[in-house]
Structure 1
Amino acid sequence: MSGGGSAPDGFGELLRSLRLRAGHTQERLAHTAGVSVRTLVDLERGRTRGPQRHTVQALARALALDTADRGDLERVAAFGRPRSRPAAVPSGTLPLPRDLGDFTARTQALAHLRTLAERPPGDWAPVAIVAGQPGLGKSAFAVHAAHCLAPHYPDGQFAVDLLGMDERPADPREVLSRLLRALGVSERGVPHETQDRTGLFRSLIATRRLLLLLDNAADEDQLRPLLPGRGDSLTVITSRHALAGLECAHRVDLTLLHREESVELITRIIGAPRVAREARAARDLADLCGHLPLAVRIAGQRLAVRPQERLGKLVAQLTREESRLDALKAGNLEVRAAFALSYRRLPPAASTVLRRAALAAGPDFSPETAALLAGTTLRRARLCIEDLADRGLLQPHPETERYRFHDLLKLFATEQLADHDDPAALVGARHRTARWMLSRATAAALHFDADHCRARDGDPDPATAPTGREAARAWLEAERAQWLWALHHAQAAGWHREVIDTAEAMHWFSDRTQHWEQWVEVFRLAVTAARALGSRAEEAVHLNYLAWAYNMCTYDHHAALETAAAALAAARECGDPLQMGWALGYGAGALKRLGRTGEAIAWLRDSAACHRDNTTPQGRLAELTTLNTLGVVLRETGHAGQALAIHRSSEAICRAGIPGQSPDLLAVYHAATLHHLGCDLAALARWSEAEAALSRALTAFEAADMPAWSEPARLDLGIALHHLGRDEEARTTLAAAHRALTELNHPRYAEAAALLDGLPDATA
């Protein structure tokens, strides 16, 4: 317990100086504070040396004192109050641990605790919980906060390690004995029963102002007997558990450090000159430590004891994932050991889920993925994941039921796989997960299938299957990394038919999400699978899809042209006019974007010829696509009138309908044609007609939730509005288009920015 010493005689003198500084007479201050003039006179003359806290606080409010002056007044008053104290320092004294001189950041969290310390007197003593994952520096923060707040607690500060991660955490009965003895109770005066000890503890501190640090708590049952009841003492608890069952507690969130905070901690440990010489390496070092305070401190202290060693050397060591945890060790500080402490306390089912979840692809994972990898039920996986999140070993997403690892914790969990899991079991877990993911992904993607001729009832778990397009899209988006991993796994395992079927199911969905660069990867895998099966016809189909992806998703037009040529050769070999026409169309798109417009027009005319005699619904859609693309090339080469005529014929096809095709699909094609018509009319300076067509196209694309299509249409609409003199509408429309095109990484985002800059100043 800190605090103590002899009491100064200066309360009256301090009060008088503060009153005179504020310009108050004794009568005015007494009236404002609600005390008698006689009381005030006695206080200033030293006749009353230790006024009660409520009197001091009333005087502080009346004098409008700031935090520092209020604290000084309260401390001086506290020294004068009579209280029973032991004749000597008791054997049970519980001093605060040493504060860290290089403590960094945590300003907001400290401000939260300071607010509790400076709160007006209340009935119940506040309790603050500092919980979170291993390595966040919870104990270091709590100790630093206790030292900072010590002036607010003149009756002392106690610190107790509750040994929450030991095999036998501290018994609250024994902790209460130590606390009571620190408060001056003799050993014979400590009650026998835990409940009686709690009662005595609470009665003793009810009239005192103490700070109690309960470090490393095990659970709520251990803590409840140790918490004050009434009074103004503050209890700060640290724990690796969330302690969600602890009632009426304030929660202090510690997050990972920001990069600049991590670099600042390194700087405080090894010195500014050394960091300045290798500023980039210092930032890389912070990143490789995952901005986890323990890891950053270990890295800094490793460097501190090796003053000649360059930061870049440690960066190179940490870059190797397989040995990163080996390198994050300095003396008895070790990241791996901090994680192992929590891991050893896990129930077997939870430890299995933690290890197997490290196999999940992508930055986060769902309970379904964890259940598949762990070979358990979804219900049990959810329970284990929630337990792991409460222990700080997984981080829950704030909006959806998804979870993620800290990078270093994931490395630790991966290490445990090698130590605890049979290799054959891991192979089985990966196979099981990949097959389930491909089945779910295929069924979800078929919600967008334009032909409506393929079944969508192949989901591996109909009870949890997404229903409807919105839910299907949400699942495909959330699990994108996982089902893409499953495709790669399937190819490596030789499941070529599954790869092709999944990629084919994705075809129409990919058209709605063409801003996803991964489509190149998906269709390249399908091409490889088709070749492995010796299916030249399927190779032609997926080469065409791949050419589309190069053109529209990654804007690699040389690769698109080369791939379209390969698709054309495969389609000719198979005698497939539909795929020949598509290959010519995709090749033309690449040629146009490469500036070879004459060749592009020739390829498009050949494509239209391939489709003209194809009376199937697929042939009619292909012809519609080719005509629209031909019109675009003609417009962009200065033949807007010809383009308008071609797009009018495309609109007529849309209006007439295509037997066997869904109204939703035709609505999308009609919207694309309207967009082209709007651009043709704009090129002819027929701005009112252009605005009407573009507005209709935008509305249709938005209804279909196709941002890669709606945002270019929004940009063109903004241009039309500007030419119509409707600059405020144009500004709003162009600003929205610019934001969305930037998010989509669309090539036209710079055009939107330039148009916005060119608009007249709205304030002029």
Structure 2
Amino acid sequence: MSEVDDTRFGRLLHGHRTRVGLTQRELADLSTVSVRAIRDLEQGRARRPRQDTVRLVADALRLSRQAREDLERAAHQGRTGWSLRTDYAVELAPAPGVQGPLIGREVEVDALVEELRHSRLVGLVGLSGVGKTRVAVEVAARAHRGGVPVLWVGVDCPIRDERLAAVVQAGVAGLCRTGDERAAGDLAELIAGRETLLVLDDPARVLDGERVKVLLRDCPALRVLVVGTAPADLPGERPFLLSALGDEAAVRLFLHHARAERPVVEDETVVGICAGLDGLPRALAAAASWLAVYDPVRLAVALRDDPLDHVEGVLRPSGVREGLVRCVRDLPDPGLLGRLPQEFTLDDVVAVTGGSLPESGRLVRGLLLRGVVRPHLADRFRVPALVRAVLAQMLVAV
């Protein structure tokens, strides 16, 4: 394997500049790149020029197509992202496999697809267990069917090339505040101007707003979908709240899962079970698994008496309880919901917090985007039953 010549870019840049008779200052003025940067590049002290820096000096020097390509190759030699660009095929970057039926989410999927057409950075947010990943999978699958590569980073990584997956995962880590910024640059070089959907389905990541902004600037056809329980507070992010399933869709989804355990028909008991599970798809699936050992009437009683244990599956944990607890604990003021009535107005928030009406409005909007409160009637809000159960459990623990 040949060694990388770290000085080639500097030598090429110096040769092109002197050939057209420009000083470093004159090239700096024409390209808007600093004199110091040009000097460091020519002398080999800066060996990883940014993609936009290469473009600016090439434009200023009015290089031919061949000379520009030579300069770009010299700038990017040895970089994994650049070397993988020719192997960056749509079939290597699919969406994850389908995770069960999509029931009652057709409107939300259509709306999210449309949002991504107009917004380059979208945050898909909502309460844990509401089905954000399943909706994101459907949106990604539609993009992939349309010929758009999907770079999915989360618990699963469906990218079918190990080198490509490694660059993407390292690059996303580089977008975090404590990550390697050079890896984020490799990701930008990989994507470049190609239409791509990047899905970040890992709410534990704390992304750096400036690094994400640079990635979007360097990749003009890139769309980013960030999945989490709350907005990531990134510049230009458009929050898209995924609300709970409606009553009819919740019953349909529950019956779909219930029929794997025993024959069940829709009746008042089933409707009541679904109402108590707040329209959360993962909670509905976990509760239905208990029909292997309970009849519907006994399940309804069990959910009333001990809801959090029964939103964990009968055979394997669903993660619903843990996710709900994390959602409540991550609130700026976890105790606020416990101090409010089950159904409340903005005036109640003003009375409890002592804040102004605008401050209370912003506070409630933040709670709505996290899914821990929901609109109720014209001017009221309510805390979902499972969130109330978590609050009660936390109060007992204290």
Structure 1 position 317 matched with structure 2 position 297: no
Counterpart CA distance in 2 for 1:404 and 1:224 is 36
Q: For residue 84 of structure 1, give the secondary structure of its aligned residue in structure 2.
A: helix
Distance (Å, rounded) in 2 between the aligned partners of 1:161 and 1:280 = 39
Counterpart secondary structure, 1:332: coil
Deviation at 1:324, TM superposition (A): 2.0
For residue 85 of structure 1, the aligned residue among 87, 108, 125 is 87
Q: Deviations over 1:529-586 (max 9, x none)?
A: xxxxxxxxxxxxxxxxxxxxxxxxxxxxxxxxxxxxxxxxxxxxxxxxxxxxxxxxxx
User: Relative to 1, partners in 2 of residues 1:351 and 1:115: Cα closer, same or farther, differing over 3 Å?
Assistant: closer
Query: Is the 8 Å Cα contact of residues 94 and 160 (structure 1) preserved in structure 2?
Result: no
Question: Which structure would you say has the larger RCO, counting Cα contacts within 8 Å and 6 or more residues apart?
Answer: 2
Q: What is residue 254 of structure 1 aligned with on the other side?
A: 242
> Structure 2 vs 1, CA of residues 235 and 369 (structure 1 numbering), >3 Å: closer, same or farther?
closer
DSSP 3-state at the match of 1:393: coil
Task: Decide whether the 8 Å contact of 1:298 with 1:328 is kept in 2.
Answer: yes
Please state which structure has a larger fraction of its residues in helix. Answer: 1
Is the Cα contact below 8 Å between 1:216 and 1:240 reproduced in 2? no
Q: Which residue of 1 aligns with 2:19?
A: none
Counterpart of 1:237 in structure 2 is 226
Whole-angstrom CA distance in 1 between matches of 2:169 and 2:371:
34
For the aligned residues, what is the CA RMSD? Answer: 4.1
- The answer for the alignment partner of 2:330 in structure 1 is 345
Measured after TM superposition, the shift of residue 417 of structure 1 is 2.2
State the Cα distance separating 1:116 from its structure 2 match: 5.7
State the distance in 2 between where 1:364 and 1:385 align. Answer: 11
Q: Is the 8 A contact 2:312 2:318 kept in 1?
A: yes
Of 266, 282, 293, the match for 2:281: 293
TM-score (norm 1): 0.34
Supply the distance in 1 between the matched residues of 2:312 and 2:185 (Cα, whole angstroms): 45
Please report how far the alpha carbon of residue 98 of structure 1 lies from its aligned counterpart in structure 2 after TM superposition: 3.7
**C-alpha deviation, 1:239, in angstroms:** 1.4
Q: What's the CA shift for 1:205? A: 1.5
Q: What is the Cα deviation at residue 235 of structure 1? A: 2.1
Q: Which amino acid is 1:299 matched to? A: A
Which of 204, 207, 214 is the equivalent residue of 2:190?
A: 204
Provide the residue aligned with 2:41 in structure 1: none
1:107: Cα distance to partner? 0.3
Give distance in 2, aligned partners of 1:369 and 1:249.
Answer: 27
Aligned-residue offset at 1:289 = 1.2
Secondary structure at the aligned position of 1:333 is classed as: coil
Kept in 2: contact 1:179–1:201 (CA 8 A) = no
CA deviation string 1:354-382 (max 9, x = no partner): 3322xx2x52244545754xxx6436994
What residue identity is the alignment partner of 1:106?
A: R
Q: CA deviation at 1:83?
A: 5.6
Do the aligned partners of 1:353 and 1:371 also contact (CA within 8 Å) in 2? Answer: no
Percent identity of equivalent pairs: 21
- Partner of residue 327, structure 1: 310
User: What is the 5 A alignment of 1:333-732?
Assistant: 333-347=318-332, 350-357=333-340, 360=341, 363-366=343-346, 368=348, 372=352, 377-378=354-355, 382=360, 387-395=366-374, 400=379, 403-420=381-398
Letter in 2 for 1:206: A
In 2, the alpha carbon distance for the partners of 1:343 and 1:138 equals 18
Give the number of the structure whose residues are more often strand, by fraction. Answer: 2
* CA positional deviation for 1:204: 3.0
Which digits, 9 at most, give the CA deviation of each residue in 1:250-290, with x for residues without a partner? 44332211222112212322338955545433222211212
- TM-superposed CA distance for 1:223, in Å, is 5.5
- Residue from 146, 153, 158 that aligns with 2:151: 158
Which of 259, 268, 284 pairs up with 1:280?
A: 268
1:127 counterpart (113, 121, 129) = 121
1:335 and 1:184 mapped to 2: Cα distance?
A: 29
| Native 8 Å contact 2:96 2:137 kept in 1 | yes
How many residues were matched structurally? 295
SS of corresponding position for 1:145? helix
Shift of the 314–97 alpha-carbon distance from structure 1 to 2, 3 Å rule, reads same
Contact in 2 for aligned 1:353/1:385 (Cα 8 Å) = no
Post-superposition offset of 1:211: 2.3
Other structure's SS at 1:262 match: helix
Q: How has the CA–CA distance of structure 1 residues 328 and 366 changed in structure 2, closer, same or farther, with 3 Å as cutoff?
A: same
Structure 1: 5+ residue stretches without partners: 1-81, 163-176, 186-191, 421-764
Structure 1 residue 213, shift from structure 2 partner: 1.0
Q: TM-score, normalised on structure 2?
A: 0.61
Q: What residue is the counterpart of 1:759 in the other structure?
A: none
Contact 1:131 / 1:253 at 8 angstroms: preserved in 2?
yes
SS of 1:139's partner is: helix
Unaligned runs of 5+ in 2: 1-83, 156-162, 172-177
Cα deviation for residue 134 of structure 1 reads 2.3
Q: Tell me which residue corresponds to 2:137.
A: 143
- SS of the residue corresponding to residue 344 of structure 2 reads coil
Q: Is the 8 A contact 1:262 1:296 kept in 2?
A: yes
Deviations 1:17-51 (A, max 9, x none): xxxxxxxxxxxxxxxxxxxxxxxxxxxxxxxxxxx
Alpha-carbon separation, structure 2, partners of 1:116 and 1:387: 20
Change (3 A) 1:388 1:235: same
Task: Give per-residue Cα distances to partners, 1:116-148, cap 9 Å, x unaligned.
Answer: 67x5xxxx9723321122221112221232234
Residue 736 (structure 1) aligns with? none
Judged with a 3 Å threshold, the aligned counterparts in structure 2 of structure 1 residues 183 and 209 are, in CA distance, closer, same or farther, namely: farther
Change in 2 beyond 3 A, CA 1:109/1:220: farther
CA distance change for structure 1 residues 290 and 300 in 2, over 3 Å: closer, same or farther? Answer: same
Are 2:104 and 2:246, in contact at CA under 8 Å, matched by a contact in 1?
no
Contact kept in structure 2, 1:127 and 1:249, CA below 8 Å: yes
Would the aligned equivalents of 2:282 and 2:320 in 1 still touch at CA under 8 Å?
A: yes
Counterpart-to-counterpart distance in 1, 2:230 and 2:366? 9
Q: Distance in 2 between matches of 1:218 and 1:224?
A: 18
SS in 1 for 2:202: strand
Kindly indicate whether residue 200 of structure 2 is the aligned counterpart of residue 214 of structure 1.
yes
Q: 1:294 to 1:273 in 2, by over 3 A?
A: closer
Q: Is the 8 A contact 2:245 2:281 kept in 1?
A: yes
